[in-house]
Amino acid sequence: MARPLVGVIGNAYAVEDRFTVQMAGERNLRAIADVAGALPLVFAGQPEITDVGDLLNTVDGILLTGARANVHPSHFGVMPVAAYEPYDQGRDSLALTLARVCVEQGVPLFGVCRGMQEMNVAFNGSLHPEIRELPGRMNHRMPRLQSGEIHPDPTVVFADRHDVTLKADGVFKQLLGRGTIRVNSLHGQGILELGERVIAEGIAEDGTIEAISIADAPGFALGVQWHAEYDPQTNPINRRLFQAFGEALSARQRP
């Protein structure tokens, strides 16, 4: 039997500030292929290019990846601020619709970083554009040098940086077999108010929501704030998440 197909959302990007492309990080693709046991298929994060119905008739699940752009604040009733750009409104429009339809139809859905944030907004939740600005919160952004440049060593950038306490009777604790995990941290925007049906499954030391599930979802519908795609080949926490996603894909795979 052929491997399940996973749709991986693309992000708008300008090459040389002139050529518009849709791109997806290779680590996402490798995580799907190596650990979930599926075939990744990148699709355009643009509603005028990608029809949700046709897409879901083709793939067995969806991965909403992380991205440089923030979710546009108009989707949760807040005025945009130039300091929190860039935005990718094409991806917003497609991803928010896609998240709701996937849950409704039981299509396996895994949201990573921005993908988790999109899931929350899709169910009428809100985000804060810079979570470290809230009282008592830590800096969740990637490590930088004193010069302000991003640290050149990816093992430092993606190193586990804080603990996450999992909901006592939650999906993640059952799936991972432990109550506390340690994760990487590379985000500015984060969940402010939970959406309808969105359950906080994991909380960081400073109160930041790091993992979610969707209540009464008929299929796999989980999101994580950390970059689980970075090292699931070697990290047992992230490996189990992608394995569980793969199991859900296989269970739904078309003959």
Count of the separate structural domains present in the chain: 1
What is the domain range of residue 160?
A: 5-252
How open is the CA angle 70-76-79, to the nearest 5 degrees?
A: 75
State the catalytic residue, choosing from 72, 102, 113, 128: 113
Question: What pLDDT shows up at residue 255?
Answer: 67
State the catalytic residue, choosing from 118, 130, 201, 229: 229
Does the pLDDT value for residue 131 go beyond 70?
yes
Question: What pLDDT shows up at residue 33?
Answer: 98
Which ranges constitute the DSSP H helices of the chain? Answer: 26-31, 52-56, 89-105, 114-122, 154-157, 171-176, 236-252
Q: What is the pLDDT of residues 38-55, one digit of tens each?
A: 999 999 999 999 999 999
User: 166, 224 in Cβ contact below 8 A?
Assistant: no
Taking Cα atoms as reference points, which of 241, 251, 254, 255 lies closest to residue 36? Answer: 241
Active site residue 102: no
Active site residue 128: no
Q: What percent of the chain has pLDDT over 90?
A: 76
210: domain CATH number? 3.40.50.880
Does the pLDDT value for residue 232 go beyond 90?
yes
